[in-house]
Amino acid sequence: MKRSDEAFWWALFSAGGVMAALFVPAFVLVTGFLLPAGGDAAVAAERTARFAAAVGWWPVKLALLGVLALSFVHCGHRIRHTLMDLGLRRFSGLLKVPCYGGALAATVWAAMLLWRI
Amino acid sequence: MSTELTMTLEVFRYHPETDSEPRFQAYEVPYDEDWVVLDALNWIKDHVDGSLTHRWSCRMGVCGSCGMMVNGDPKLTCAVFLKDYYPRPIKVEPLVNFPVERDLVVSLDGFMDKLEAVKPYIIRGDVNDTSGGEYLQSPAELAQYKQYSMCINCMLCYAACPVAGHEDEFLGPAALALGHRYNKDSRDQGQAERLDVMLVGEAIWGCTFVGECTVVCPKHVDPAGAIQQAKAVGAQEFFKRFVAPKGAGV
């Protein structure tokens, strides 16, 4: 019997899980708490501008896109398996289209946003 | 009996030759704080109702025969004490996710098929050749698989696993952990054969890492961890196909 191609999707899911767990909380901490910390709007704006400049450097953009793309696949894979658990197991192949397609669309969207920075 | 206290056991009963559907029967059993649920079941069978059917053997958490649902949780009934429930009644049912044969006895057929499928034994080409002496193994090599070898096939993990309940192709926690146990054994050469069974369809990929198997295991095996490690091996094998030609022996 042929080995399943699920290994491919699981590998991306797994990598996305690591990315999401490692980097997303750090992003939230930096952008949500550290940049505006102190309550001084002018200082926060200055910090944010410097941060945005750093993000505008292309190696950072590329790394960010990698983190985001894998996190989106992680999300799509988890949604697909949740839907399978909820009774759509026989559509496991068909569910790949909206779930991983959605992750791809989100990645393209993120790439466009990053391109504009 | 040191006390006259009693407590109630509500026991799942089903005799397929006479019962059209399962029912619960309540029994008053003597309460003794040294008793486990299995002692109470044996007392019922010996003193009240000889037709009660349940499996048990060692009474010391080694044989893996007496797994049942105790108040909805998969437990070895030899390892769960009445005093942990007293004075509330205890509901005893057969392990879920298995066909019931009679009362508290479930069919092992599907489980045995899955266990056999992963070839849970050492596979090597030179198994009859003893000229080189023993196959030595370092403590570090032993540590790679030792905890997975503690499985007693009690099937509590199958009763705890939501995927095992609705996906027939899924090999389940114990079988996958045992397959992984032999794949990690430095004396073994059968990983490719086992992966041909483990990596097809939903056999391993059905697992969504709920982790209840590890929670309920009475021998502190970590089947959920074993399955994730085995999935990682499967993913490596998948990508290796693109860098090494088939049969290159990577």
- The rounded distance, in Å, linking the Cα atoms of B183 and B203 is 16
Query: Does B166 sit within 8 Å of A8, measured CB to CB?
Result: no
In this prediction, residues A56-64 reach a mean pLDDT of 92
Q: Tell me the shortest Cα–Cα distance from B134 to chain A, in angstroms.
A: 35
The pairing of strands B100-102 and B23-30 is unpaired
Collapsing DSSP to helix, strand or coil, B28 comes out as strand
Nearest CA in chain B to A87: B166
What is the model's pTM? 0.88
In this prediction, residues A98-102 reach a mean pLDDT of 97
Could you tell me how many residues make up chain A? 117
Query: Does A4 sit within 8 Å of B201, measured CB to CB?
Result: yes
* Helices A96-116 and A58-83, axial angle in degrees (round to 10): 160
Mutate to test the interface with A, among B227, B228, B238, B242 (most CBs of A within 10 A): B238
Q: Tell me the shortest Cα–Cα distance from A107 to chain B, in angstroms.
A: 23
What confidence score (pLDDT) does residue B54 get? 98
Per-residue pLDDT for chain B (250 aa), expressed as one digit of tens each? 455 899 999 999 999 999 999 999 999 999 999 999 999 999 999 999 999 999 999 999 999 999 999 999 999 999 999 999 999 999 999 999 999 999 999 999 999 999 999 999 999 987 777 788 888 999 999 999 999 999 999 999 999 999 998 889 999 999 999 999 999 999 999 999 999 999 999 999 999 999 999 999 999 999 999 999 999 999 999 999 888 766 555 4
Chain B positions touching A10 (Cβ under 8 A) are 205, 231, 234-235
Q: Does A59 touch chain B (CB under 8 A)?
A: no
What confidence score (pLDDT) does residue B143 get? 96
Nearest CA in chain B to A80: B208
What confidence score (pLDDT) does residue B247 get? 56
What confidence score (pLDDT) does residue B250 get? 45
Minimum mean pLDDT range among A38-47, A91-100, B31-40, B46-55: A38-47
What confidence score (pLDDT) does residue A117 get? 80
Query: Does B199 sit within 8 Å of A4, measured CB to CB?
Result: yes
Q: Which residue, chain included where needed, has tokens 């939903």? A: B202
Q: Does A10 touch chain B (CB under 8 A)?
A: yes
Tally of helices (H runs) and strands (E runs) in chain A: 4, 0
Chain B positions touching A81 (Cβ under 8 A) are 208
Of B162, B167, B238, which has the smallest distance from its Cβ to A8's Cβ?
A: B238
Mean pLDDT estimate for chain A? 92
Instruction: Count CB atoms within 10 A of the CB of residue B28.
Output: 12
What confidence score (pLDDT) does residue A92 get? 86
Chain A positions touching B230 (Cβ under 8 A) are none
On whether the A13-116 domain is CATH 1.20.1300, my answer is yes
**What is the interface pTM, i.e. ipTM, of the complex?**
0.80
What confidence score (pLDDT) does residue B79 get? 97
Of A1, A2, A10, which has the smallest distance from its Cβ to B205's Cβ?
A: A10
Q: What is the DSSP letter of B1?
A: -
Mutate to test the interface with B, among A10, A73, A82 (most CBs of B within 10 A): A10
Q: What is the DSSP letter of B90?
A: E
Q: What is the dihedral of CA A6, A7, A13, A16, to 10 degrees?
A: -150
CB–CB contacts below 8 A, A to B: 46
| CATH for the B6-106 domain, from 3.10.180.10, 3.10.20.30, 2.30.110.10, 3.40.50.300 | 3.10.20.30
Query: Does A85 sit within 8 Å of B237, measured CB to CB?
Result: no
Q: Tell me the shortest Cα–Cα distance from B239 to chain A, in angstroms.
A: 8
Q: Does A51 touch chain B (CB under 8 A)?
A: no
What confidence score (pLDDT) does residue B3 get? 54
Which CATH architecture best describes the domain B109-126+135-243?
A: Orthogonal Bundle (1.10)
Q: Does A8 touch chain B (CB under 8 A)?
A: yes
Structure tokens at B150: 């503690």
